[in-house]
Amino acid sequence: MEAKNKIVEQLKIIRGAIDANKNFVSRLPVFARGFAEQDFAGNTGMGFNDWLILLDKVIGKLEKPTEPTGEEAKDLANDCIKLSTHLERYARYLMTVPDKIRMASSFFQVDEAAMKSAMEAPKFAESVRSLKQDIDNLIKELQARA
């Protein structure tokens, strides 16, 4: 149960980060917005909205008071498998964020808070990879219950 709560907490942090990234990108100049959205989706395997939908789905299932069994456990395991695959891609994307934001800042003004956040992205990648390991362990548990 404690592991499940930790996973939910970490998923909510990632959801918040992706939502913040989506909001940042939505405020970019039109010429940069499309590029940033395609870059995110191409590197992470899903667009912002697809990420948010999948995260909300997994969080919702994990927050249920009862442990999933049978078909419910199988469905959650499948969602977690998809999430695990994309978490690694998201972690690799995060490693490239500082270079991307430095490049972008040569074309338009990037506020100090966004720049600072971008420089922290590689550290956040470590947390994402740790979550991936926790999700992979959860997948094994769920598959055993299915």
- Which of 84, 87, 137, 104 is closest to 24 using CA atoms? 104
**Per-residue pLDDT at 1:** 54
Contact assessment for residue 145 and residue 61, using Cβ atoms and an 8 Å cutoff: no
In degrees, to the nearest 5, what angle opens at C-alpha 78 toward C-alphas 129 and 37?
Answer: 60
The per-residue pLDDT for 81 is: 97
Burial 32-57 (b: 16+ CB within 10 A, else e): eeeebbeebbeebbbebeebeebbee
Give pLDDT tens digits along the chain (146 positions).
578 899 999 999 999 999 999 998 898 888 888 999 999 999 999 999 999 999 999 999 999 988 888 999 999 999 999 999 999 999 999 999 988 877 776 766 767 777 788 888 999 999 999 999 999 999 999 999 87
pTM of structure:
0.90
Q: What single-letter DSSP state applies at residue 139?
A: H
Strand runs (DSSP E) across the chain, as ranges?
none
Give residue 136's pLDDT: 96
Contacts of 57 (CB under 8 A, 6+ apart): 79
